[in-house]
Each structure stands twice: as C-alpha cells, then as structure tokens.
Amino acid sequence: MTAEKQAELRVAGEGYPLKALEGTMGDLALDIRDLRAQSGRVAYDPGMANVASCRSAITFVDGEKGILLHRGYALEDLIENCNFTEVAYLLIHGALPPEEKRKKFSALLNLHSMLHEDMRSFFGNYPEGAHPMAVLSAMVVSLSSFYPELRHNGVKEEVDITVTRLLSKLRTIAAFSYKKSIGEPYIYPSHKYSYCENFLNMMFRSPVSRYKAEPEDVALMNKLLILHADHEQNASTTAMRMVGSTGANLYACISAGICALWGPLHGGANQAVVEMLEGIIEEGLTPEQVLARAKNKQDPFRLMGFGHRIYKTYDPRAKIAKRLCTELLQRRPINDKLFDVALELEERALADEYFRERNLYPNVDYYTGLIYRALGFPTEMYPVLFALGRLPGWIAHWLEMRQDPDQKLMRPRQIYVGPERREFAPVETRE
C-alpha cells in the first residue's frame, strides 16, 4: 500500500489504522466498517456525500471531468450505436449482447408485455388527476401479488423471468396510466413493434386515430431512455438498494425506487423545469429576476435543472439532451417559447458569478422535459419516462447487490439530540 493511501484516525490520543480501498478507475476510500467497534465513534454525513455505500461494477462517473461510462462503455457511444434494450442487456448482464442473444432478449420482452387482465380495473379506480408516478409505483408493487413472488434466494431462471417481466410491463403500465388520466381506452402492446415503438403506440394511438410512430421519434425515444439508464448510487438507486437490503422482493424494491425518483430534486426535476419555464413566461419574468430569486437564500426557489451532487462541470447527459432537443425542434418546427427561455436562462446562469463559484451547470433534467413536450407527452408523464429509462439500472444494482458478499442490512445510526431520560408525567400534571 502506498503512503498516500494509508490512513490513521486519531481520537483522544489513540490511533486507529483505516484500511484503504481503491477502485479500478482510481477512486480511493477508507474502510470505516470497524470505526465504532474500535473508537466508539460513528461518522456523520446526512446527505451521504462522502459515503461509498457499496462496491459496484456497473457505472462509472467522473463528476469533475464530466465522464459517464456503463460497464466501461462511454454513454456517447451507447447513445449513437445501440437501442435501449441492448443497453438494458448490457447493464443487467455486464456485456453487450451478440445478435442471437439480442434477438432473443427482444422477443422475450415482447412475450411478457401484457398485464394480467385483472390489473386493468386498478387503473380505473384512481381519481381523475392522479399523478402517473403514484399509479406507476403502486402498480409495480402490485405485480408481486399477480406474479409469483421471487424468493430471496431465487434460482437464476426465477430471477430472469421476473427481470424480463418488469422491463416489459413497466412501459405497458406507464402507457395505461396515461390513457386512464385522459379517459381514453387502453391500447394493448403488440408483438409487431420494437420496445420503444410499442410504447409510443400504446401512448398515442386511439381507436379513432391512425397513429404510426415516426422512425425518428422511435430512435429519439431510444436515446432518451439510454440517457437515463443508470447513474450509480443516486437517491432512487440507494432507496431501491436499501429496501432490497431487507430481503424485500424485486417489485417492492423497484416501487421504492420509483417513489424516490418522483421528488423534484431527483427525477421529478424534468417536470419541475418545464413548470418553472411556464411560470416565468406567465409572470413575464426577466432572466435577471429569475436568477436573483435563485440566488436569494431567503427564497426557497431554485433554478430547476441546474446543479448536481456529483457533476461539477456540464453533465454529459445534459449536453446530449440539449443537442437532441435542438435537432428535434429543427425537424419538427414548433415555436416553443419555453426552449428560447431555457437557452437564455442557461447562458445567463453560466456567466453568473454565483453559479460559476458553485459549479452549477445544467443537469440531465434541464432539456429532457422540453423534448418530451415536443413529442407530445403531458408534463406529469416526464418523471415516468425517467423511471422507464432508469429501470435496467435499478435491476442491475439489485442483481449486483444479491451477489455482493459485503452486502448487509442497511441500517444507519444517528446522533440523538432529544431530551435526556425524564420522569413519566401522569395526565393530570401535564401542561
């Protein structure tokens, strides 16, 4: 072990050596698993910004250089050369599929795309205006009551079929929840379409329309889903892993991941960005007024779609999303004022001292909502599309966790700051 990797913690004059860990790309860590047993202390880090919760071989992110690799492949290469199901296969199985396996995987995804017919009635019972993320997470956990529950130590075949079911059915659930929200009949999946074409067809066809997805839109949908396919230990993956660490079934874990993703600081940000831009136009705010609000610490307003826990430079996904958005709006000229406002706001923010000092750049959610909007998706569906893309990542992490000998029940500690022990107060003495 080299000198700079060795570490010792000194507490009250006592020294405790800390084992060093190193990743394949040079990530350095200190193993503090024995910290409390040795020193009587625990580590305090509420946002877990300094904690590696596991070792993982799925995704590598360099937040300083803006690099994102899946199983060693650059995101940019995967976006240009693969469709979404190939990337899902890569994340889940660790290698890109040869032709035979690629075909088999696609055929399997088609085979399992239907939902149990009894599940249809669930959609009907949600109130009008129900957020599709609520429906999505509830439906995913409901799958565990319709399809045999995967045992904690389930054999490979059992695991494979559950994974395939989930990947295949999530897009059907997503499309059904949209159809329910607009009061249109559900469109069933069809074997004649590819993964993304099937999804677009279920979303936008109706008994009275002759919708046929444009090949460019299918290609774009593939790219958008790949853009979201995994992002190592983000909040939803960590939520999913935490639920998984209790031994809960895969459906329950994914449902938890969906709930965590919903928040506006995470996957809900794509919806929040578009709502923010709409608000700016409605109120007639100038970029200066918007940035002033974002910088004002007394104002809870933040520039949505800006900033990232890991990226201290331009998020590589945001770069791609911006290009895809520009290309789409050229291909399908829509006079979208929101796009112009987004461009101007980005330019002003990147030149602003506050944003520069704090390394705040557009993240993946800044432009994706505008793409979904131009494709015709309603605002509330944006986080659902994020979830659809993130699913193979969640699954890959769940599978990895099951094989990890270091994996344990995730159960953090706390620093108690409440009252010390006090005498019980009978009701007549309470004030």
Q: Which residues are catalytic?
A: 308, 365
* Residue 61: strand, helix, or coil: strand
CA 231-232-235 angle, to 5 degrees, is 85
CA–CA gap between residue 191 and residue 107 (Å, rounded): 8
**Considering CB under 6 A, how many residues would be counted as binding ligand CMC?**
20
Least distance from C-beta 310 to ligand CMC, angstroms?
8
The smaller minimum CB distance to ligand CMC, of residues 189 and 383, is found at: 383
Least distance from C-beta 251 to ligand CMC, angstroms?
22
CA–CA gap between residue 173 and residue 59 (Å, rounded): 27
Least distance from C-beta 343 to ligand CMC, angstroms?
17
Q: Please, is 329 exposed, middle or buried when counting C-beta atoms within 10 Å of its C-beta (0-12, 13-18, 19+)?
A: middle
- Chain centroid to Cα 272, Å, comes to 15
Region of 143-151, 169-177, 188-196, 306-314 interacting with ligand CMC (CB under 6 A): 306-314
CA–CA gap between residue 151 and residue 154 (Å, rounded): 5
Least distance from C-beta 125 to ligand CMC, angstroms?
30
Candidates 269, 320, 374, 387; binder of ligand CMC (CB under 6 A) is 269
Residue nearest to ligand CMC (CB): 307
Least distance from C-beta 98 to ligand CMC, angstroms?
33
266, 363 contact by CB (below 8 A) = no
Residue 151 binds ligand CMC (CB under 6 A): no
Residue 132 binds ligand CMC (CB under 6 A): no
The smaller minimum CB distance to ligand CMC, of residues 56 and 234, is found at: 234
Region of 141-149, 262-270, 374-382, 396-404 interacting with ligand CMC (CB under 6 A): 262-270
Candidates 70, 71, 241, 308; binder of ligand CMC (CB under 6 A) is 308
Q: Sheet harboring 67-70: ordered strands across?
A: 59-62, 67-70, 73-74
Residue 302 binds ligand CMC (CB under 6 A): yes
The smaller minimum CB distance to ligand CMC, of residues 66 and 305, is found at: 305
Q: Which of 233, 201, 204, 229 is nearest to 82 (CA)?
A: 229
CA–CA gap between residue 395 and residue 247 (Å, rounded): 15
Other CB atoms within a 10 A radius of the CB of residue 244 amount to 25
DSSP letters, 374-430, are HHT--GGGHHHHHHHHHHHHHHHHHHHHHH-TT-----------SPPP-----GGG-
The smaller minimum CB distance to ligand CMC, of residues 244 and 393, is found at: 393
* Residue 293: strand, helix, or coil: helix
Least distance from C-beta 123 to ligand CMC, angstroms?
26
Candidates 294, 338, 345, 371; binder of ligand CMC (CB under 6 A) is 294
CA–CA gap between residue 26 and residue 24 (Å, rounded): 6
* Residue 305: strand, helix, or coil: coil
CA distances from 21 to 17, 234, 315, 373, 376 (A): 13, 21, 27, 45, 47
Least distance from C-beta 348 to ligand CMC, angstroms?
13
Q: Between residue 329 and residue 388, which ones bind ligand CMC under the rule CB under 6 A? A: 358, 360, 363-365
Candidates 266, 312, 319, 402; binder of ligand CMC (CB under 6 A) is 266
Compute the Cα dihedral for 85, 63, 381, 265 and give only its sign: positive
Residue 312 binds ligand CMC (CB under 6 A): no
Residue 305 binds ligand CMC (CB under 6 A): yes
Candidates 306, 361, 367, 372; binder of ligand CMC (CB under 6 A) is 306
Instruction: Show the binding pattern over residues 19-58: x = contacts ligand CMC (CB under 6 A), - = does not.
Output: ----------------------------x-----------
Least distance from C-beta 329 to ligand CMC, angstroms?
21
CA–CA gap between residue 362 and residue 316 (Å, rounded): 10
Candidates 21, 42, 114, 265; binder of ligand CMC (CB under 6 A) is 265
DSSP letters, 165-188, are HHHHHHHHHHHHHHHHHHTPPP--
CA–CA gap between residue 262 and residue 385 (Å, rounded): 11
The smaller minimum CB distance to ligand CMC, of residues 61 and 108, is found at: 61
Residue 89 binds ligand CMC (CB under 6 A): no
Residue 250 binds ligand CMC (CB under 6 A): no
The smaller minimum CB distance to ligand CMC, of residues 43 and 111, is found at: 43
Binding footprint of ligand CMC on the chain (CB under 6 A): 47, 234, 265-267, 269, 294, 302-309, 358, 360, 363-365
